[in-house]
Each structure stands twice: as C-alpha cells, then as structure tokens.
C-alpha cells in the first residue's frame, strides 16, 4: 500500500499538529549513519539524533546484528520471577558506566517510565525507613520528565500539563535557570545563577523537610530548549538535599551517553552524584524502546529487608528487560566504547560551539546556548508564538536537514559520529534560513 492509499486519519501523531501535518506529510523511509531518506529518496541530515536518542548514528551494524540474532533466539522472557542472561549483562554494563555508588539497575521501556519509576522508588524508600510523611516531590519550572502522571506533575512545561487536571498532589517546583539578561550567548555553562539552587531552602522552609521525598531535575534541561546548569548549581542542589535527607534524582534521558561530551553521564561530568539516575534514549541508540532507573546502594538496600520470600518492589512492566532491548543496549554500549564516541563528542564540542555561536548576529536570534554536542538557538517570537521556529524547522527539512523546535527555540543535537563538514552544513542552512525569514 502506498502513502497516498493510506488513511492518514488512522494514525494520531503525538506532539504534532495533525491537521497541518496531513496537509504536507514529512515521511522518513530509511536511515544510515548521519542521514535519513525521505519519501522522495532525498538524503536528510539528522541534526537532532532522531529524537535526542540516536547517539551512535543510524542502523549501526553491531546493534542491528545483535537485535536480529536475539529475536531469532529469545523473542520474549518475563521479568517477573524470571530473568535471562542478557538482562544481567546489560544491567552490569550500565552500572559500571554510572558514577559513584549507582550500582543497581531497574529496566523499563522509556524515559517517561524511568521518571515515574524513580519517583515511586523515592516515595517507597522513605516509607520503608519509617519516614512515610515524606510524600512531597519537587520538580523545576520548564523541566521535562516524560508524559506519565508523575512526570508531568513534577515537570514544568505548561503545555504538557494544562489539559490533564490537577495531576499529583503535593508537588512544588524550583525556578528554572534561564537568565538571558545575565547569561545570553554563554559558551558552555553560564556563570550566573548558582544561587537559584538556594530556592530549595525556601521550599524546605515552606513545607518542612520531613515532608519532602525527592527533588528531580535534568542536569541540562533539554526538551524545553537547552538550558545548561549555571556553574555550581548542581553541586549546591546536592548539598541541600543531603543536608535535609531528600533524595536527588537526575533525569539523564537526554544528557546521558555522551551527549554533553566526555563521560557517559552529566553526573560524572559535573562531579555530582544523585541518589537515583534515570536514562533511556541513547541507551539502545533508539533501536528498541528501553529506559532505566539506576539506584545508589543505600536506596537499593532499603528494599532488601524483611522476609526473603517477600516481593521487594511491587512495580515493573511486561516488557521490562526485554531480550531485544537488552541486546540492543549491550551492542550500543560496545559501539560507544569501540569507537570512543563519548571522547569524540568532547573533542568536537569546541568546533560545534564555535559553529553555533557564529549565528550570534543572525536575524531574529536573541540567545544561543550550548554544551557538548547540543545547542539551542532562541528566536525572537512573532505575535503568534512558535511560528518562527516552526518555519525554520519546516524550511530546514525541505533543504535536507532535520531539526527540533520547542517554543521559539531551535534545538540541535546530532549523532556523535558527525563530521566537521556536517556541523558546518547544519549551521549554514540555519543561517541562510534566518536571513531569509521575516
């Protein structure tokens, strides 16, 4: 059946203006390396690693072969009261990548599930320790932690929340860290804003520490438009959480697996170890859905009490540690290591930064933010918000470049295998579009 013979109304695309899309569909039909092909056979340079997830590039042989081999040998294995060898291997490999004493992995199927898993574990942890009054969860304005009810409750993007009622009770939010007045066009981490972490002390004073279970933040807020943390901000959050017995959760669904250059995770890059770290996306290079919550020793050990026959944690999913996902994760981690992709991202980050900031004086640009191989270009809004950024996104696709946009911000986060000439092409296309844009 061809595209034109298909009933487009049968598919409801998420986070999409469906009526607008059906009038002019953008269809991707294959991929390899840094490029997609669209329905016309044209190459499209992937400037956003699919959806922040294809860190090793598309259709990498080792990952493809691992998934093919596994589906032919073990198509499914239940994770309740059963296991399979690939699950243990994938967990061991992931725990060894994580910093500090983050040694215990619970798999799920997405970043959204990882976020909700971490929040549930935080609540249960305190109850098991006799502090059941700690039920309050603290997120951050403009934060994104997936689309489960827990994630959108602690998340701080209003458009993701407003249709769904009152959400979870007992949630509060830290202020976001974007300060364009003091930090516009920062290269890497902004210098101003560490003091914003002290807002947590105000929230503690308001609610009392004995009621607060956890604080969850993205080390770098990605989906909201690339907001790197101010220098010292994450360390200050860690200090306050430790002082008051509050668990600190890092959502590294976007920042994990070399996206910021250097170590696998932002936690190690910035020298701040949370109590729970969530990841997904780059874990399997986007090939098979998978997420994970990685717990510190003290969190895990709180559940390893009572009768040995008792279920430790009444939580999990049918597809937890799915064999194909585990195979994809192992092969993905092998690919990162074999090709030194995290180190490659670090080595390229200066060139990428210079290319991004070359657009500082381009029309409509009011800020540029970057860290590692990710950049956000904020545009002055028109009378109707988001329309200028959407037009850049649409024009770029027709020029053979896939970007992300969120609000009035263009986000660039290419696969870590990108070459310098492809970096040049990305920002050249964006610059040309901006100069032609009304």
The strands making up 171-174's β-sheet, listed across from edge to edge, are: 102-108, 291-296, 276-279, 247-251, 212-217, 136-140, 171-174
Residue 252: which of 114, 415, 368 has the closest Cα?
114
CA distances from 181 to 137, 177, 195, 217 (A): 30, 12, 15, 23
Q: Per residue of the chain (438 residues), what is the pLDDT tens digit?
A: 455 566 778 999 999 999 999 999 999 999 999 999 999 999 999 999 999 999 999 999 999 999 999 999 999 999 999 999 999 999 999 999 999 999 999 999 999 999 999 999 999 999 999 999 999 999 999 999 999 999 999 999 999 999 998 899 999 999 999 999 999 999 999 999 999 999 999 999 999 999 999 999 999 999 999 999 999 999 999 999 999 999 999 999 999 999 999 999 999 999 999 999 999 999 999 999 999 999 999 999 999 998 999 999 999 999 999 999 999 999 999 999 999 999 999 999 999 999 999 999 999 999 999 999 999 999 999 999 999 999 999 999 999 999 999 999 999 999 999 999 999 999 999 999 999 998
Output the CA–CA distances (angstroms, integers) from residue 122 to 104, 128, 129, 248, 353, in the order listed. Answer: 14, 10, 11, 9, 37
Question: Residue 66 and residue 70: Cα distance in Å, rounded?
Answer: 6
**What confidence score (pLDDT) does residue 233 get?**
98
**pTM of the predicted structure, to 2 decimals:** 0.97
What is the phi/psi pair of residue 43, to 5°? -75, 135
- pLDDT recorded at residue 8: 73
Question: With the C-alpha atoms ordered 269, 401, 112, 246, is the resulting torsion angle positive or negative?
Answer: positive
CA distances from 346 to 162, 342, 350 (A): 38, 6, 8
Q: Which fold is adopted by the domain 64-338?
A: 3.40.640
pLDDT, residue 7, reads: 72
Delimit the CATH 3.40.640.10 region(s) of the chain: 64-338
d(CA 317, CA 291): 11
Exposure string over 54-88, b if 16+ CB within 10 A, otherwise e: bbbbbebebbeebbeebeeebeeeebeeeebebbe
Give the up-direction half-sphere exposure of residue 192: CA atoms within 13 A in the CB hemisphere.
9
Strand partners, 371: 374
Residue intervals in the chain for CATH 3.90.1150.10: 3-56+340-436
**Look-up: residue for tokens 């609610």?**
207
Give the 3-state secondary structure of the chain.
CCHHHCCHHHCCCCCCCHHHHHHCCCCEEEEEECEEEECCCCEEEECCHHHHCCCCCECCHHHHHHHHHHHHHCCCCCCCCCCCHHHHHHHHHHHHHCCCCEEEEEEECCHHHHHHHHHHHHHHHHHHCCCCCCCEEEEECCCCCCCCHHHHHHCCCHHHCCCCCCCCCCEEEECCCCCHHHHCCCCCCCCCCHHHHHHHHHHHHHHCHHHEEEEEECCCECCCCCECCCCCHHHHHHHHHHHHCCEEEEECCCCCCCCCCCCCCHHHHCCCCCCEEEECHHHCCCCCCCEEEEEEHHHHHHHCCCCCCCCCCCCCCCCCCCHHHHHHHHHHHHHHHHCCHHHHHHHHHHHHHHHHHCCCCCCCEEEEEEECCEEEEEECCCCCCCHHHHHHHHHHHHCCEECEEECCEEEECCCCCCCHHHHHHHHHHHHHHHHHCC
φ and ψ at residue 318, rounded to 5 degrees: -50, -40
Per-residue model confidence (pLDDT) at position 4: 58
What is residue 405's predicted lDDT score, i.e. its pLDDT? 97
pLDDT of res. 1: 44
Q: Is CATH 3.90.1150.10 the classification given to domain 3-56+340-436? A: yes
């Amino acid at each position: 059946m061809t595209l034109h013979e298909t009933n487009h109304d049968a598919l409801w695309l998420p986070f999409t203006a469906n009526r607008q899309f059906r009038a002019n569909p953008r269809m991707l039909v294959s991929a390899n390396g840094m490029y997609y092909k669209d329905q016309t056979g044209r190459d499209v340079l992937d400037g956003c690693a699919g959806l922040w997830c294809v860190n090793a590039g598309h259709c990498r042989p080792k990952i493809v072969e691992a998934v093919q081999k596994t589906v032919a040998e073990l198509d499914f294995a239940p994770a309740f009261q059963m296991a399979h060898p690939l699950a243990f291997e994938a967990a061991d490999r992931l725990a060894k990548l994580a910093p500090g004493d983050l040694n215990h992995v619970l798999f799920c199927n997405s970043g959204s599930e990882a976020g909700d898993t971490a929040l549930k574990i935080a609540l249960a942890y305190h109850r098991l320790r006799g502090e059941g009054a700690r039920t309050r969860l603290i997120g951050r304005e403009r934060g994104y932690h997936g689309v489960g009810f827990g994630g959108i409750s602690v998340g701080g993007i209003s458009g993701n929340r407003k249709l769904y009622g009152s959400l979870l009770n007992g949630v509060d939010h830290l202020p976001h860290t974007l300060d364009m007045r003091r930090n516009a066009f920062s290269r890497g981490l902004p210098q101003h804003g560490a003091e914003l972490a002290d807002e947590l002390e105000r929230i503690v004073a308001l609610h009392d520490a004995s009621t607060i279970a956890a604080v969850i933040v993205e080390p770098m807020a990605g989906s909201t438009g690339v907001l790197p943390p101010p220098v010292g901000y994450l360390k200050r959050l860690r200090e306050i959480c430790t002082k008051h017995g509050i668990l600190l959760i890092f959502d590294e669904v976007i920042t994990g697996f070399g996206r910021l250059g250097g170590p696998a995770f932002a936690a190690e890059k910035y020298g701040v170890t949370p109590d729970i770290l969530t990841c997904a996306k780059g874990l399997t290079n986007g090939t098979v859905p998978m997420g994970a919550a990685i717990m510190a020793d003290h969190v895990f050990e709180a559940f390893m009490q009572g009768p040995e026959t008792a279920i430790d944690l009444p939580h999990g999913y049918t597809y937890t540690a799915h064999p194909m996902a585990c195979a994809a994760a192992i092969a993905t981690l092998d690919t990162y290591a074999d090709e030194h992709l995290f180190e490659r991202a670090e080595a390229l980050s200066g060139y990428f930064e210079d290319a991004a900031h070359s657009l500082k004086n381009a029309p409509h640009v009011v800020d540029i933010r970057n860290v590692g191989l990710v950049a956000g270009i904020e545009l002055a809004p028109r009378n109707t918000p988001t329309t200028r950024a959407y037009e850049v996104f649409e024009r770029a696709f027709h020029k053979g470049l896939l970007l992300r946009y969120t609000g009035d911000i263009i986000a660039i986060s290419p696969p870590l295998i990108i070459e310098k000439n492809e970096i040049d092409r990305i920002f050249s296309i964006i610059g040309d579009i901006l100069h032609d844009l009304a």
